[in-house]
Amino acid sequence: MERNTFADFKFNRQILNAIEEAGYTVPTPIQQKAIPPILAGQDVMGIAQTGTGKTAAFVLPILMKLKYAQGNDARALILSPTRELAMQIEENIRLFAKYTDLRTVVLYGGLGPKAQIAELEKGVDIIVATPGRFLDLYLEGHIVTKSLNVLVMDEADKMMDMGFISKLHRILEVVPRKRQNLLFSATMSELVHKIAGDFLAFPTVVEVSEQATPAQTVTQALYYVPNLKTKINLLQHLLKDDETLHRLIVFCKTKAVADNVFSFLERKYGSENVRVIHANKGQNTRINSINAFKEGTVRILVATDVAARGLDVSNVSHVINFDVPIVIEDYVHRIGRTGRAFNTGDAITFCNPAEEYYIRKIEKLIRQQIPVAPIPEEVTVTETGFEERQAIAREIDAQKRKENPEFKGAFHEKKADNQLTAKPRQKNKYGGPSGKSKSRKKR
């Protein structure tokens, strides 16, 4: 049955008022499919990419079932792989539980547990937690699980990637057997299948869009860029259009690259316009950076994949993949930061020769080719330096060896340098004569 408004789910007035105030009018496909079986008490497995409204798909029916504050111990537990996502789920609960007296506590590492323990002692209805911190506080006797009747595992694929499987099994041992289980994941890897088998009893499976397909509202583009310096030049060129690129996230593969890109952008645009978040940044710094970006006071957020999941910021105009992600599923998560909830957005990816391998895998995963854009004439395409050329050749060798263990490696036969430089002098897709990129325009 098609449900065109939230009132069709028979939510109570308090929840409907909060939904209306939050500006939501039409339930998204995952909400239409997941809310009825959750309300009916069934175990649900939801396959939904990020940005489809899945948080509200489990938060709203949980609020409806719990209705009002009761006792001291939590009745619902929501597990999340990262603190950013945990904080965001809690923010969603606060938004929709505005007119109820339900109490929520969010638990994550990186901060001393004192304040979190004090919150738990005041009494709680819903706990949102990362698995490690939840177990620590449970084992110290600060959490009583006997009242739990709903358990949610969000971003289960990310939990598996981050090695949480043993902690999750430990949590399953300490929660009541009789409970409702909900599992959400953007992709279905073997490990997710395994945990789903241990965790769900005859679940209702709800799936929106084909597995791991980018949101229809995102326009994708791919630039073949020969090296780091040219990537910076291209980024600088694209950023000139500040009207169009008014709020963007630049994703980098490592903390070091993120810091380099941030330093460049900070010099260029001033520290009030740019922030960087990655695992080495303190908790408060990360929270402040995300909030400044959400409020629109900061135009550019530079981030590693730690921030890719669950970062819900409306009106992100562009996502720029400065590096191609090595965990190919993260491509879908990264570009899911834009084009959220019926808005449109653009995702632009820079790819050097060593990253083509991952682009092919991503295209296979998303079952579509990413449209290639030529590097604009105004952008200086610099020559790849010796060290970077060696590193690229080494990486391409490693990829070939991965695909074919018999491969001996051009790099070790000193062919790599020639491969990257001494090809015929026709133009290649990287903007210069094959291998060597020429400088188009002297500054």
218-264 tens-digit pLDDT: 889 999 999 999 999 999 999 887 777 778 899 998 888 999 999 99
Does residue 321 share a domain with residue 286? yes
| Number of domains, the chain | 2
CA distance linking residue 47 with residue 72, whole number of Å: 33
Collapsing DSSP to helix, strand or coil, 422 comes out as: coil
Domain-terminating residue out of 172, 207, 242: 207
The confidence band for 416, taking pLDDT boundaries of 50, 70 and 90, is very low
Helix (H) or strand (E) holding 358: helix 356-366
Q: What is the DSSP letter of 372?
A: B
pLDDT of residue 2 exceeding 70 = no
376-391 tens-digit pLDDT: 999 999 999 999 999 9
Nearest to 294 by CA among 87, 75, 432: 87
CA distance linking residue 280 with residue 110, whole number of Å: 11
Does residue 75 share a domain with residue 147? yes
Domain-terminating residue out of 207, 229, 255: 207
Phi first, then psi, for residue 86 (nearest 5°) are: -60, -45
Does residue 143 share a domain with residue 31? yes
More confident residue, 217 or 393: 393
CA distance linking residue 322 with residue 437, whole number of Å: 19
Find where tokens 């084009």 sit.
339
CA distance linking residue 76 with residue 406, whole number of Å: 53
What is the DSSP secondary-structure string of 126-171?
EEEE-HHHHHHHHHTT----TT--EEEE-SHHHHHHTT-HHHHHHH
For residue 367, what pLDDT is reported? 82
Does residue 339 share a domain with residue 263? yes
169-228 tens-digit pLDDT: 999 999 999 999 999 988 777 778 888 888 888 899 988 765 455 666 788 999 999 999
90-105 tens-digit pLDDT: 988 998 999 999 999 9
Is the overall model pTM greater than 0.75, yes or no? no
Q: Is 318 a member of any domain? A: yes
pLDDT of residue 439 exceeding 50 = no
Q: What is the DSSP letter of 305?
A: G
Does residue 300 share a domain with residue 187? no
Q: Which structural domain range is residue 155 located in?
A: 6-207
Percentage of residues of the chain with pLDDT beyond 70 = 85
For residue 435, what pLDDT is reported? 45
Does residue 292 share a domain with residue 189? no
Alpha carbon dihedral 355, 360, 362, 364, in 10-degree steps, equals -170
Average pLDDT over all residues of the chain: 84
Tokens linked to 156: 């289960």
Helix (H) or strand (E) holding 95: helix 83-96
Does residue 363 share a domain with residue 301? yes
What mean pLDDT is predicted for residues 314-342?
78
Q: What is the DSSP letter of 439?
A: P
